Structure 1
Amino acid sequence: MNLHPYAETHEVTNQVPPLDGANLYRVDLPLQEWVRRYDGGWAEQRLDTYGALAGGPLMAAGFLANENKPVFKSHDRYGHRIDLVEFHPAYHELMSTAIAHGIPSLPWTDPRAGANVARAGMSYLHSQAEAGSGCPLTMTFASVPALRLQPDVAEKWLPKILATEYDPRNLPIEQKSGATIGMAMTEKQGGTDVRANTTRAYPVGIPGPGQAYELVGHKWFCSAPMCDAFLTLAYTDKGLSCFLLPRHRPDGTRNEFYVQRLKNKLGNWSNASSEVEYRGAFAWMIGEEGRGVPTIIEMVSLTRFDCMVGSSSLMRQALTQAAHHCAYRQVGGRVLAEQPLMQNVLADLALESEAALALTMRMGRALDHLHDEQEDKFARLVTAVGKYWICKRAPAMINEAAECLGGAGYVEDTILPRLYREAPVNSTWEGSGNVQCLDVLRALSKEPGVLDALFTELGDGHGDARLGAFIGKLKASFADTADIQFRARQLTEDVAVALQAKLLLEAGNATVADAFIGSRLGGGGRVYGTLPRGTDAEALLARSTPHLA
């Protein structure tokens, strides 16, 4: 049968070639440089291998895992309560690959210089392919310091937590080759205010650290309910305490841990988040009784660091997509990436991405040197500063990147909508913006030496008069304690951009540092694409996407 002469109305032209299979490490010169700068160069081959996985099979798995959300199964077909969450095979592929490559374990199993930086680099690559799986990965990674506070429990659990084998089977820990850890802290009536929790813990026999308890209560947010155990909070007679609550009791029977429902979230679709109840659930006390918050903060500090990693990762993938599109798409007979206004936008996005990466990797270096007092105090402050600022910057940055693709950036065939939905997760979870800013004030006012550590890090502005003047104003702002809580967000922002400017200057790329300082400290525009005249946008773009243009 002959087609009607008008069946084909047009020829498909001016479309961008697919980016499928790109090695996300090789196209990211800033990542390569910042990893090497902070002692992670020994892991370059590992990062290169993971970059190929992230841009290839894991990217494809990310789309499938989001198209096929986890499903909660409360009962089996015979009516028995099972409380299981079923995942698409693509999700298991993401988890298995990450665990096999050491994303939850590397700094603990190979604690050499640069280990946290290298691990952050791999997580940064992984989250570009799919960020939802990062939730159980980061909680498993971050559980280690808290569990080490209770050596008898750690002896049993850490070998499985640090294993490089993913075992999703719902079995007692003794029968598994690897384990993942979740977290359940907040309740309906309190949210971030965990002191308002009502869950109670009752000793089974002798009370105290490492002993068995039964918990009665609920958790409004339990992340990753398919994990093998959960760090959680409950009250004893001595106050709020920390516990490790396993999916199975020591005799192998299922624990009294009941999933009420999965959260229907804005984004983070591949990951299951849930509401749960403890109806006499077995758990071991971790750390000192009545000191549950300081104990679980050992975990939360690292999950907040991973929020920095995750948001930086989302921004980087958004930049990669925007730059790739604009390198090929023509408007008015000219490639978009060659047009001055688009160059301004893309270069501005590149600056934001690299500044986020720089502060994140500097935090990774601090984690590798916590035995050093300066680094320890730096990490105490910048965990909150970076978590606030980088996670706040991500949604607007990703929105701008999506706009570079026009209408194509708004449809689910691209990754941009998923990145945009994912972006608010890191700013909201693990303590929202106000919580981080109040923590900045708490660290500065209650922990001696933290403010000094900040200004030791900043120095005199690394020879740049603009940064030097900005640091001087920052010192004056902290000296004026009137209405300081009202100003906490502004102070935190100023600390963040001052640190980013200093790190970029110190790294020695004058084009990057000058453009950042000129736009971020110089009272520039309120949206992206307002870099000052004289900025070498072409050089910034060539640096950020050397193999895409």
Structure 2
Amino acid sequence: MRSEIRVATNQAPLLAGHNIVTGDAALVEAVTRHASAEVVEDLAGIGAEAGTAEAREHGMLANQHHPELVPYDRWGNRVDEVRFHPSWHWLMERAVGHGLAATPWEQQEAGSPYAHVRRAAGFMAWSHTEPGHGCPISMTYAAVPALRADEALAKEWTPLLASTKYDPGVRQPSAKRGALAGMGMTEKQGGSDVRANVTEARPTAVDGEYTLHGHKWFTSAPMNDVFLVLAQAAGGVTCFVVPRVLPDGSRNQLDVVRLKDKLGNRSNASSELEFDGTVAHRLGDEGRGVRTIIEMVAATRLDCVLGSTSLMRRAVNEASWHAAHRSAFGSLLADKPLMQNVLADLAVEAEAATAVAMRLASAVDNIADPHETALRRIGLPLAKFWVCKRTPYLVAEALECLGGNGYVEESGLPLLYREAPLNSVWEGSGNVNALDVLRALGREPEVLDAWITEVGRARGGDPRLDRAIDDTLALLGSLMGEPDRLEVNARRLAGRMAAVLQGSLLVRFAPPEVADVFCASRLGSAYDGTFGALDGGDLRAIVARATPVA
């Protein structure tokens, strides 16, 4: 009896030793479709390392040991530094080293046709290790297109941001092998309404140089080397480049007031900043700050979709792995019809997210194509709204598949659950993105043409999709004809357009059993979002496709 108590049985082994890239059929097919089999092979190393027990442990440790703000050194000098656990640096070093920061922008300029698809797939795979450190990686990636508003500033910073050398520490840029970027947009009185910002930018005697005076309510990774910041200049809201350290080696006047105590994302230091004579360089024209920084916002919105998709996939991995190894009531959970229904439904959701995320990443690789540009414009707020909204529901359901084991920190599911709402908040809440869809439709007629063209490529492939396309266009026409109803129905419209876009991609490219279940469940008017309520379909095949092999 004593040995039976001391030795656990019927427990799923640790999910480790699998390849996050090559073991994900939906991701492999998407990368091959939008890039090549050679790119999949190139990503196998990232996938293998992300699936190790070592990476999993570093992810847990980085969240257990939170960043620590050090405002003063031992002698009383103001330093405003943040100390991270070694596991944070382990994760960051590999993310940068794998080229997941700003590297693809230089690769694209050098003629690489699939730089952004490769990076998107790598970002999704590596985010399985720990999602919090993806924030500074994402902001560094997103800074480059905004910096291109000023050739001199882009030339100064892009090579450092695109480096594959992780070089932490507060030092002047000329002494570093690589750099990281952050951004400061929101203020406590305005939030997403950045035109309500009150931080003041005062010009100095040096052309293009200003000093900033005010605060920022959310600035992640305050240890980064450079920040894009919005402030009020004489001409209106303007974008500025704020270096952490000045060329002479002195520290810029950038006070970290406190670190945010957040629901999740605890490995990442999100801070409140105060400026009082902070040196900044104007990026773009005065009064054009929102337009200047919008490219950064677009890139980070893509990463919100990628990051949420990664959370989905990691949660499905954990749930399907558990069910494949845990027995109850006489057989494996994975063989129980109702558990198959739940797992298949989760897997289809994750595959639909993967399909749309990688499709939008491919649009960045083909940005010279007008259709791709327009599709990216409408597709990003649609996917940001829909995929990020779906993630908390999916993660909660996946956690439940493990029962009480899933509610325990050691399983890793609570970490995912706390992280799941974040991407719906970051870079514009659900309302902001739904309204951005309306803005795009109202001001840029080419974006609707792009959506119609894209989903139209799947017409004839499934009658339920065809009806959903027609119904969505009818809904849009009805709302456009009654402007008083338009805003209040923005979420409804965005959700339908996003689901139809996902359905069209699955009908074209996914296995028939996946596309069939998606169209039957998601594209009908009666769909209530409940997971595990599928009616028919080859559920066993869908679950097998999504279950990791280690």
Q: TM-score range, shorter-chain basis? A: over 0.9
SS at match of 1:487: helix
* Cα gap change, 1:8 to 1:364, in 2 (>3 Å): closer
**C-alpha RMSD of the superposition:** 1.4
**Equivalent of residue 53 in structure 1, options 30, 49, 57:** 49
After TM superposition, list the pairs within 5 Å mapping 1:475-490 onto structure 2. 475-480=473-478, 481=480, 482=482, 483-490=485-492
**1:528 correspondence with 2:531:** yes
1:321-346 per-residue CA deviation (whole Å, 9 max, x = no partner) reads 00000001000110000010000000
1:35-65 per-residue CA deviation (whole Å, 9 max, x = no partner) reads 1111143322331100111111322211111
Where does structure 1 lack aligned partners over 5 or more consecutive residues? none
1:254-312 per-residue CA deviation (whole Å, 9 max, x = no partner) reads 11100000000000011000000001000110111210000011101000000000000
After TM superposition, list the pairs within 5 Å mapping 1:277-296 onto structure 2. 277-296=274-293
1:112-139 per-residue CA deviation (whole Å, 9 max, x = no partner) reads 2222111100000111111100000000
* TM superposition shift of 1:461: 4.5
Give 1:257's aligned residue: 254
* Cα gap change, 1:310 to 1:40, in 2 (>3 Å): farther
Does 335-344 or 521-530 show the bigger shift?
521-530
Rounded to whole Å, the distance in 1 between the matches of 2:17 and 2:57 is 9
Say whether the 8 Å CA contact 1:29–1:546 is kept in structure 2. Answer: no
* Cα gap change, 1:345 to 1:253, in 2 (>3 Å): same
**1:239 correspondence with 2:236:** yes
1:187-234 per-residue CA deviation (whole Å, 9 max, x = no partner) reads 010000000000011111155xxx111100000001110100100011
Give 1:381's aligned residue: 378
**Letter aligned with residue 69 of structure 2:** F
**Equivalent of residue 414 in structure 2, options 413, 417, 424:** 417
Give 1:24's aligned residue: 20
**Equivalent of residue 435 in structure 1, options 416, 428, 432:** 432
Rounded to whole Å, the distance in 2 between the matches of 1:41 and 1:99 is 23
Give 2:518's aligned residue: 516
Where does structure 2 lack aligned partners over 5 or more consecutive residues? none
SS at match of 2:214: strand
TM-score, with length taken from structure 2: 0.96
* Cα gap change, 1:40 to 1:91, in 2 (>3 Å): farther
After TM superposition, list the pairs within 5 Å mapping 1:63-142 onto structure 2. 63-111=60-108, 112-142=112-142
SS at match of 2:82: strand
Say whether the 8 Å CA contact 1:103–1:122 is kept in structure 2. Answer: yes
Give 1:400's aligned residue: 397
Rounded to whole Å, the distance in 2 between the matches of 1:244 and 1:80 is 25
Count of aligned residue pairs for this structure pair? 540
SS at match of 2:192: coil
**1:223 correspondence with 2:206:** no
Say whether the 8 Å CA contact 2:103–2:161 is kept in structure 1. Answer: no
* Cα gap change, 1:23 to 1:508, in 2 (>3 Å): closer
* TM superposition shift of 1:20: 2.2
* TM superposition shift of 1:541: 1.1
Rounded to whole Å, the distance in 1 between the matches of 2:455 and 2:12 is 43
Give 1:468's aligned residue: 466
Say whether the 8 Å CA contact 1:100–1:164 is kept in structure 2. Answer: yes
Rounded to whole Å, the distance in 2 between the matches of 1:359 and 1:331 is 36
**Letter aligned with residue 47 of structure 2:** G
Say whether the 8 Å CA contact 1:380–1:443 is kept in structure 2. Answer: yes
Say whether the 8 Å CA contact 1:167–1:178 is kept in structure 2. Answer: yes
* TM superposition shift of 1:248: 1.3
Give 1:370's aligned residue: 367
**Letter aligned with residue 27 of structure 2:** L
Rounded to whole Å, the distance in 1 between the matches of 2:5 and 2:45 is 44
Does 152-161 or 126-135 show the bigger shift?
152-161
**Letter aligned with residue 475 of structure 2:** S
**Letter aligned with residue 344 of structure 1:** N
SS at match of 2:263: coil
Sequence identity, in percent?
48
* TM superposition shift of 1:529: 0.3
Rounded to whole Å, the distance in 2 between the matches of 1:228 and 1:10 is 51
SS at match of 1:102: coil
**1:332 correspondence with 2:329:** yes
Give 1:301's aligned residue: 298
Rounded to whole Å, the distance in 1 between the matches of 2:51 and 2:279 is 42
